[in-house]
Structure 1
């Protein structure tokens, strides 16, 4: 549980530090959340790993697949449109309780 909390905190912290920009300016793929979730579950076999409010207007979600090793991070707006902010392969659950070289 603690390992997942640490990895989730790192992801959310990195996303929170990013300057807010319109999705079009970032070149992001945006589509209705239902359609995105259907694609993630069907094509990539990803499932919700965690999420939280980035601010009052944005819900950040991380979807991962232990089976395929893929991951997707996206933000959903109040109008139900989701914009992908990151995707990748070789997702690994955190195995350390702290990062080397980081105090605390």
Structure 2
């Protein structure tokens, strides 16, 4: 009984020592944009104002299918929120007035 409790405690304790899941890569925006354009051939696809001090940007590559979502702050620092592959750009579908989807 005690062996199982100690083993479970050690396993859960070891799991808590791993790196944080929320670790982000942050650097000056110009440096990050340079890496995205040269290393991944990504271009700015979309952006929107998140709040008064930051903008969310989506960079994607039609050639490779890679994408990067980042937040650019007013102080010139950008942080990568997410990155991945198999990006597909969707074309908006026109709707009739008053009819959704």
After TM superposition, the score normalised by the length of structure 1 is: 0.67
Uncovered stretches (5+) of structure 2, i.e. residues with no partner = 1-19
Deviates more, 1:45-54 or 1:89-98: 89-98
* Cα-Cα RMSD: 2.1
Task: Detail structure 1 runs of 4+ shifted over 4 Å in the superposition.
Answer: none
Deviation at 1:96, TM superposition (A): 6.8
Q: Counterpart of 1:19? A: none
SS in 2 for 1:27: coil
After TM superposition, the score normalised by the length of structure 2 is: 0.69
Q: Counterpart of 1:27? A: 23
Rg larger in 1 or in 2? 2
In the comparison of the two structures, how many residue pairs are matched?
Answer: 77
Q: Which structure exhibits the higher relative contact order, with contacts defined as CA atoms closer than 8 Å and separated by 6 or more residues?
A: 1
- Which whole-Å CA distance do the structure 1 matches of 2:85 and 2:69 have between them? 12
> When you count helix as a share of all residues, which structure comes out higher?
1
Deviation at 1:97, TM superposition (A): 3.2
